[in-house]
A = this chain, B = another copy of it.
Amino acid sequence: MEVNTKRKKEVLNAALTLFRHRGYESTSMRQLAKELNLEVASLYSHISAKSDLLEVICFGMADKFLLGAKEVNDIYFNAEEKLRMYIANHISLLTQNMDSSIVFLRDWRFLPDDKKEQFVELRNKYEDGIREIIETGISEHVFNPSDIKMATLTILSSLNWVVEWYKPEGSLTPQEIANDLSNFILNGLKKNNL
């Protein structure tokens, strides 16, 4: 589904707020309609199904993450630097798109089966990027050998958890968070014989 009219974008934004705070499955089309001062049926002048809304959110974020990863891969070479940039990009996207991020991390499971398959493919592609950096670091004797899959998932879980506690008005900036987490993670990965 393309978001090609102003009204469509308004519908999407209202849905985004509701999905974030109530979850996709617990948000009804009737609630969404009320939020927009519309009748339920009118929503279907703009979208063809509720799941359209979830799709736009999930794939929109997936694209952003993959684009950022691609840029990092094109510019940086050394494993530590690359991982730091991956983390900075990840935290920046999460904190700048809190609503979408929360929905996309929590509710992708409710995508229709075929879309869910596509989505998981994209997510695996992103995870592979991190896995490869760790592998490079290990083979270049910069990182300690470790279970690579576990390291990747542990790193991602630390990063993604940020949406659960980050407050834009809080004391830590996204840059500081990214930096702290990078230090934390790299201390966990790096050889200690410097």
Query: A residues bordering B, Cβ < 8 Å?
Result: 23, 25-26, 146-147, 149-151, 153-154, 156-158, 160-161, 164-165, 172, 177, 180-181, 183-185, 187-189, 192
Would B161 and A147 count as touching, CB distance under 8 A? no
- Min CB gap A103→B, angstroms: 14
A82 to B153, CA, bound (A): 25
Chosen A-B contacts, 13 in total, with CB atoms closer than 8 Å, are: A23-B25, A25-B25, A146-B184, A149-B165, A150-B177, A154-B158, A154-B161, A154-B184, A157-B158, A157-B160, A184-B189, A185-B188, A187-B187
Residue of B nearest to A181 (CB): B154
Would A187 and B181 count as touching, CB distance under 8 A? no
Residue of B nearest to A25 (CB): B25
Identify the interface centre among A23, A149, A154, A185: most chain B CB within 10 Å of its CB: A154
Would A187 and B180 count as touching, CB distance under 8 A? no
